[in-house]
Structure 1
Amino acid sequence: MNNPSVSLTTDDLPAPFIQESPISTLLNPRDVRNNLTFVAPYAGIQVDDQISIRWAGGSGEGSYTSALSPVGSARPVIRRLDKDLVTFNFGRTVTLSYSLVRGTAPAVVSQPLLLYVLPVAQADLPRPFIPQASDGGEGQVLNVSALSEFTLRINAWLLERTGQPVWLRLRGTKVDGSAFDVRYWQAPENVIADEFNRFGFYERNYPAAPLQGLRNHSALNLRFSAGLQRSQDESFAQVFAERNYIVMTSASATPVIRSATGADGQDIPEGADTRHTRITLSGSARAGEDVEVYDEARLLDTVRAHSGLWQLELVDLAGGGYVFTAKVSNDSAISAPWRLNVVLQDLPLSIREAPDNGRLDPLAATQSLTAVLLYDMLPDDRLRVSWIGAAGTLPQGSHTTNTLIAGATKPREVPLSVSVVPFNLGKKVSVTFTYERGLSPPVTSAPFFLMVGDLPASVFIPPVFTQANGTTLLDLRTVTNGATLQFGRWPHIAAGQKLWLDLEGTNTEGEPHERQLWTGDRNSVTRSWAINGIFNLTVLFSDLSDLADGSTLTLRLHVNLDGVANRQTAIAFTPREYTIVTGD
């Protein structure tokens, strides 16, 4: 029973908070894309107390006060709020509080929480697109020459709701130079309906003829906005990031690679080996076309076809195989490949762990990284070797050795620090050596260029719950004191590498259950983990207890090997999935 002799005051009732927000005074709309949960953290709440919660924000649908209701037995007291409260308060400070009624005493209002709701970020909003464009609409080229109709589509966005109106406007340049400016979507005709929630996108088809009247190679701009607060006044709508296409209204001839020549002017047949690191590719294309030349998926350069012919000189090629192709800018047609293999031997400088003298497999350099010097050295030469990371690489990705005496053994091997490797994955580095002889000035070698490969996904083994005993079943009855999540090592693991860890599942109410346990700005590999190759994390039972029986729990781990807290450049481990068992 309640004790009427104990009176409450505002000082007794701590301020509420939003469960999904990691920063109590700052709310990112992205964090509440699934749920908006109000938490009243007063530990002294009694079962017969009644509570009313209040979100004081913008007028109308931007504010909410609940009726008094029993607190129930669950602690802390939580209440689900309508996510529209966030939508109506972008860029505003709102005040959260709750009132508690005990027995016949007057209601007592808690301490307030002043919460700033961030505007929705453009990175969290999709852009409109035309699926018939290159790369399924994500590319830059829209070839309308053979289309009878085209599709305008927008995918689901953060905090979308039925009844939100949408606007979409296309702008470009017609053949005669006049402006093309057509509004394809507008309120009240275009409004998000149940089909949007069911399929996850909104789209409509239109005749392609108007787009075929645009100037060839001109820009087409798509500008989309949505009334997130369901207002049909476009001036209140949220503007999304624009998308631009290069419109192709006539077919373009596919370019051709016709020859490759070495520095000595001799032809290098397709598929042949060459010792040259400087070669010239020649080909043909329609006069005036800009031709993009690729090595596999990597763009090397863009050249103009003059009088139907083009040339591109490539220098400082690393050893290894190349697959060159050419395509016209803003077109998807690709030439036949021209393959060749650069073979470098008896070089004054090489890397032992890169036997093809051009590409370094990072798995071959986990224990050692060795520069091999073979020049007309004398035993008393004083040597230094420099590994220079790619432009933009952190300083830890470069290294210069201490000065060494050459000695009598040839070739001379110089150990380098393997710690530079993870900072340069997927990048081109250069290595040089400098020697000093007697009182003569230092002599620095020509750079040796090396492409550092990426680590394969298979080496990033996701963590496991030890209580699952090697199975994919996690019985929550065995983890009431916490579940042990065990992590192993991966190649080039090092202290300070940034980590992200998320749990994703479904709760007993059928709603998403998400927990962000680690973020790169707070969590990183520890020194003991890097040394011992194992790390255990206790996951609280409270982070798992709401999961539904038979549901799937997914573990998502990311790591950034260069120590930068940027999830977008982090490596994603293969997700680990468990089936939840509760015994219910």
Structure 2
Amino acid sequence: MNRPLATITTDDLPPPFVRESSAPALLNPAHARYSLTIVVEAVLESTDRISVKWQGAPGTPAEGSYTSGFSEVGDRRPVEQSFSFSLVSINQGRTVTLTYDIIRGNAAPVTSQPLILYVLPLAQSDLPRPFIEQAEHAGEGQLLFVHDLSLFALRINAWLLIRRDLFFWAWLKGTNANGSVFEQRYWFAPDNLVGQDFFRFGFFRQNFPADPLKGLKDGSVLTVEFSVSFDGSQVEADAIRFAPRHYIVRTRASPTPGKPAILSVKDAAGQDIANGGETTDTGITISGSATAGEQVEVFDRSDSKGMVRADSGIWQLPLSPLSVGPHPLKAQALYGDGEISDLWTITVKQVQRGELSIQESADSVNLDPLNATASLTAVLDYDQQPTDMVSVTVKAADGTPAAGSHTSTPIAAGTTTPLKINLPVSLVAFSIGKIMEVTFTYTRGASAPVTSQPLRLNVLPIARDRLTAPLITQANGTDILDLKDVQSGANLLFGAWPHISVSQRIWLDLEGQKDTGTHNLRMWAGTTNMVHRAWATNGSYSSLISANYLRLLRDGSKLVIRFRVNLDQVANLDTAAIFQTREYTIRAVP
């Protein structure tokens, strides 16, 4: 005999929660860029039917809310319902309400207790800035030379939570040569919206006549503003503004016709060194202007440092090594009357020798992890005595596992100077993208131990080109994935990366499209998945993508594979190293 089903009330149904939310009442939209999962942990019967509701904030369009159809609970525990991330996109910066309804037997639906959820706005760091392609450094630099332009290209790259049919606006604002305000709108609703090509290729660009820019005041600031209506509104005031881009406009080909000019001097890190400024770097890059297509010769005092051609009116020359002391730099035209630029003087300062350094770090300030894959060596240069007992301590940043810190076994200093002590290379992985603090301690006879001042070493991220994306072997080296070749699933092959180690947390997300919309899958989450010993030892690993997932992908759509690793073994998606993405075009037609 079947037992009777107990009746339920709202008190029996606790609020749902969002799996991608790190706090019960807050949701960072960046965490829902691949999936949005509503989780129900109520005590339910297998024959109960459930419907989950996301109620958008007041004033949002109908697309900002969604209610799933009723489905039987079955053996799902907890019950999870996947929703489109567009709900997050539309409601960012607003409060939404999440509930679910349960039908038990023939009783009327019972609504759960609500979850009141505030969706945070996207951080500006997650949003690209618009740019003009003709500005220096492909639009990323500060200078925009407009003298010889007939057209300029305005461009915006795809942003987080982008989707089709969003309206966007772009303005250029500056100062005209006569001092009046320059303000011109270039993109606006309803003419400009995210179309198929924008969504597919990941950027939108458009050419415009450059004549209006030639009327700007030379040396003035031109600001590029961009905004997007994430909720589909055509009212610009409702749109979310991205961080603006600022350019210094140069309307003349050179400060004096035919005369070269030095426009900037940058250190090894790409930071500007002002005229009259100082640096500890012995390698710099000097940039300037001259008549387009002509050559200039660069001098440090009277010493020639080489000749360089001013392609499109701009030239650039690296100088290294420079001696300690002042360096008056100038450029002389190798055309016309041989005019000489104004001087740009910098001073290279002596780097003070410290007691402690890391051999694999060129400046004992930054450590490129690629230089420390085979060794990590502390170099001690102090007034040592042979009988001193010396040890080195590496302390990782707060929150790093204990294995990221280490104190070496004390050894006698001996007579060799400087003293070098080998440290475990495994320490590097724990501190990538963080500060590693290094000290040494020596004990002399019966005296108390003496500890050095700490060396704070900035461990740089691993270069992206060394973080290779996994690949599907059945694609045979192409970017086309034919579904008839993966009827039993796709073999996803991973390699190794610099400083790979056991227990590093791994994240794997698949992004695709099916006929009814997005088709995403989180295969691995760092909270449960990690590098195992065989992978770290063999340098490769294979995993199978389910055929059930693949067979729903739409013909002609893109399958994007995103792989990330917490090198410090702490499961945190926000701090994971982001590998190159791999994209395949799906061929689903027999």
Which TM class, normalised by the smaller chain length?
0.5 to 0.7
Distance 1:430 1:16 in 2: 43
Task: Tell me the secondary structure at the aligned position of residue 147 of structure 2.
Answer: coil
**2:297 aligned residue:** none
Shift of 1:504: 0.9
Which of residues 256, 261, 264 is equivalent to 1:291? 264
**1:95 aligned residue:** 97
Task: Tell me the secondary structure at the aligned position of residue 235 of structure 1.
Answer: helix
**1:304 aligned residue:** 275
C-alpha spacing 1:93/1:476, structure 2 compared with 1 (3 Å)? farther
Contact 2:47 2:105 in 1 (8 A): no
Contact 2:432 2:568 in 1 (8 A): no
Distance 1:53 1:362 in 2: 48
C-alpha spacing 1:196/1:114, structure 2 compared with 1 (3 Å)? same
Which of residues 197, 206, 209 is equivalent to 1:207? 209
Shift of 1:39: 6.2
C-alpha spacing 1:143/1:301, structure 2 compared with 1 (3 Å)? closer
C-alpha spacing 1:443/1:560, structure 2 compared with 1 (3 Å)? same
Percentage identity across aligned positions? Answer: 39
C-alpha spacing 1:74/1:368, structure 2 compared with 1 (3 Å)? same
User: In the alignment, residue 292 of structure 1 is paired with which amino acid?
Assistant: V
Q: TM-score, normalised by structure 1?
A: 0.62
Query: CA offsets per residue over residues 214-235 of structure 1, 9 Å max, x none?
Result: 1222211122223333334333
**1:327 aligned residue:** 287
Shift of 1:370: 4.7
Shift of 1:117: 2.2
User: In the alignment, residue 133 of structure 1 is paired with which amino acid?
Assistant: A
Query: CA offsets per residue over residues 408-462 of structure 1, 9 Å max, x none?
Result: 668865444545655787999999999999999x9999x9999999867787687
Q: Which of 428-437 and 211-220 deviates more?
A: 428-437
Distance 2:51 2:573 in 1: 40
Distance 1:103 1:430 in 2: 64
Q: TM-score, normalised by structure 2?
A: 0.62
Question: Mapping of 1:21-32 within 5 angstroms?
Answer: 25-32=25-32
Shift of 1:510: 7.1
Distance 2:495 2:195 in 1: 47
Q: Is it true that 1:231 corresponds to 2:233 in the alignment?
A: yes
User: In the alignment, residue 134 of structure 1 is paired with which amino acid?
Assistant: E
Aligned length: 518
Which of residues 144, 148, 161 is equivalent to 1:142? 144
Contact 1:353 1:365 in 2 (8 A): no
Task: Tell me the secondary structure at the aligned position of residue 6 of structure 1.
Answer: coil
Shift of 1:548: 2.2
Query: CA offsets per residue over residues 324-351 of structure 1, 9 Å max, x none?
Result: 531149x993434445599xxxx99999
**1:251 aligned residue:** 253
Task: Tell me the secondary structure at the aligned position of residue 145 of structure 1.
Answer: coil
Distance 2:435 2:37 in 1: 48
Query: CA offsets per residue over residues 76-124 of structure 1, 9 Å max, x none?
Result: 5777767664455333332222334456533332343333322233333
Task: Tell me the secondary structure at the aligned position of residue 93 of structure 1.
Answer: strand
Question: Mapping of 1:273-288 within 5 angstroms?
Answer: 286=261
Q: Is it true that 1:546 corresponds to 2:549 in the alignment?
A: yes
- Computed over aligned residues only, the root mean square deviation of the Cα atoms, in angstroms, reads 6.3
C-alpha spacing 1:301/1:118, structure 2 compared with 1 (3 Å)? closer
Contact 1:50 1:102 in 2 (8 A): no
Q: Which of 414-423 and 241-250 deviates more?
A: 414-423
Question: Mapping of 1:100-499 within 5 angstroms?
Answer: 100-101=102-103, 104-159=106-161, 164-187=166-189, 190=192, 196-197=198-199, 200-252=202-254, 286=261, 289-295=262-268, 298-299=269-270, 302-304=273-275, 315=280, 324-328=284-288, 333-338=314-319, 368-370=375-377, 379-380=386-387, 382=388, 384=390, 405-407=412-414, 414-416=421-423, 418=425, 421-422=428-429, 492=499, 499=505
Shift of 1:46: 3.1
Shift of 1:184: 3.5
Task: Tell me the secondary structure at the aligned position of residue 123 of structure 1.
Answer: helix
User: In the alignment, residue 47 of structure 2 is paired with which amino acid?
Assistant: Q
Distance 1:13 1:153 in 2: 49
Task: Tell me the secondary structure at the aligned position of residue 97 of structure 2.
Answer: strand
Distance 2:455 2:109 in 1: 77
C-alpha spacing 1:571/1:162, structure 2 compared with 1 (3 Å)? closer
Contact 1:500 1:567 in 2 (8 A): no
Q: Which of 188-197 and 212-221 deviates more?
A: 188-197
Unaligned regions of 5+ residues in structure 1, if any? 255-283, 306-311, 467-471
Question: Mapping of 1:527-546 within 5 angstroms?
Answer: 533=537, 545-546=548-549
C-alpha spacing 1:448/1:338, structure 2 compared with 1 (3 Å)? farther
User: In the alignment, residue 96 of structure 1 is paired with which amino acid?
Assistant: L
Distance 1:130 1:458 in 2: 26
Task: Tell me the secondary structure at the aligned position of residue 550 of structure 2.
Answer: coil
C-alpha spacing 1:534/1:524, structure 2 compared with 1 (3 Å)? farther
Shift of 1:173: 1.9
Query: CA offsets per residue over residues 154-175 of structure 1, 9 Å max, x none?
Result: 3444555666543333221222
Distance 2:358 2:161 in 1: 55
C-alpha spacing 1:111/1:378, structure 2 compared with 1 (3 Å)? closer
C-alpha spacing 1:248/1:383, structure 2 compared with 1 (3 Å)? farther
Q: Which of 507-516 and 131-140 deviates more?
A: 507-516
Shift of 1:212: 1.2
Task: Tell me the secondary structure at the aligned position of residue 546 of structure 1.
Answer: helix
C-alpha spacing 1:116/1:10, structure 2 compared with 1 (3 Å)? farther
Distance 1:556 1:566 in 2: 15
Query: CA offsets per residue over residues 126-157 of structure 1, 9 Å max, x none?
Result: 33322222333333322211112323333444
Contact 1:383 1:433 in 2 (8 A): no
Task: Tell me the secondary structure at the aligned position of residue 225 of structure 2.
Answer: strand
Distance 2:570 2:119 in 1: 27
Shift of 1:183: 3.4
